[in-house]
A and B are shown apart, each in its own frame.
Chain A
């Protein structure tokens, strides 16, 4: 059952605005990951270490993954309707895992000679 009625072009329930705020929140998080990736690229460019290019590339992938997770979340929220919204355990755990991975990479970069 879709919450969107194509005849009236309206949402049949009121899940729209909170769902919209949530997907924007996912997008801002993806942007924050993108900034981290860009900083890692800058750093790779500066000291030329090949090791830094790998996490920089992974960071960009993580940003895309985060944005896609947000899209999936939004789609499921709107399609399921507000009565059937469940906690997004997979998406939330994935984001926390990616952020921790960013932190570990940065911690490794803090060790001199890397």
Chain B
């Protein structure tokens, strides 16, 4: 059985600690589980966006010009899908980086979510103003 856990956090003897490892070694289990929890947290965010889409398309009264609800609901659903797909890619890349003892890759997800939410909010504001 290959050695897996504890080799990273406890190993201080290596002189080339900054170099990515040649072979993939499973990281400390706490990092694997933390990566998984982060992935799940992003997916809950995606589910919240999608739930917002369901509510806006079918459960709230019309708040703007005809079809506004469908535009906003569609935007929320698309944002949710993109977040879920990017979260999966992020999870894969982080897990690969940890196996190779490399730096974690940068994430565009927070920026994407922020921009997406600003766009949706502005869209709702404009639609409400236009309807007045």
Asked if A and B bind, the verdict is yes
Interface residues of A (CB under 8 A from B): 15, 18-19, 21-22, 25-26, 28-29, 32-33, 35-36, 39-40, 42-43, 46-47, 73, 77, 82-88, 92-93, 95-96, 99-100, 102-104, 106-107, 109-112
Interface residues of B (CB under 8 A from A): 1, 4-6, 26, 29-30, 32-37, 39-41, 43-44, 46-48, 50-51, 53-55, 57-59, 67, 70-71, 73-74, 76-78, 80-81, 84-85, 87-88, 91, 95
Q: Write out the residue numbers on chain B whose beta carbons fall within 8 Å of the beta carbon of A112.
A: 67, 70
Within 8 Å by CB of B77, from A32, A43, A85, A103, lies A103
Within 8 Å by CB of A99, from B4, B43, B53, B55, lies B43
A110 touches B34 (CB 8 A): no
Chain A residue with the shortest CB-CB distance to B80: A103
Q: Write out the residue numbers on chain A whose beta carbons fall within 8 Å of the beta carbon of B78.
A: 103, 107
- How far is A35 from B5 in the complex, measured between Cα atoms in Å? 37
Given A29-B43, A32-B43, A102-B47, output 13 extra A-B contacts at Cβ < 8 Å: A21-B37, A22-B36, A43-B54, A43-B59, A82-B5, A85-B4, A92-B88, A102-B50, A107-B74, A109-B53, A109-B54, A110-B57, A112-B67
Cβ-Cβ contact count across A and B, 8 Å cutoff: 141
Chain A contact residues: helix, strand, loop or mixed: helix
- How far is A39 from B35 in the complex, measured between Cα atoms in Å? 29
Within 8 Å by CB of A83, from B4, B43, B44, B70, lies B4
Q: Write out the residue numbers on chain A whose beta carbons fall within 8 Å of the beta carbon of B87.
A: 96
Residue contacts A-B, CB under 8 angstroms, 21 given: A18-B29, A22-B36, A25-B36, A28-B40, A32-B44, A32-B48, A33-B47, A39-B55, A39-B59, A46-B59, A83-B4, A86-B26, A87-B32, A87-B35, A92-B36, A95-B43, A96-B84, A96-B85, A107-B81, A110-B73, A110-B77
- How far is A92 from B37 in the complex, measured between Cα atoms in Å? 10
Chain B residue with the shortest CB-CB distance to A111: B70
Q: Write out the residue numbers on chain B whose beta carbons fall within 8 Å of the beta carbon of A104.
A: 77, 81
- How far is A91 from B26 in the complex, measured between Cα atoms in Å? 18
Closest 8 CB pairs of A and B: A85-B29, A103-B81, A110-B74, A43-B58, A96-B88, A106-B77, A99-B84, A32-B47
A99 touches B47 (CB 8 A): yes
Chain A residue with the shortest CB-CB distance to B29: A85
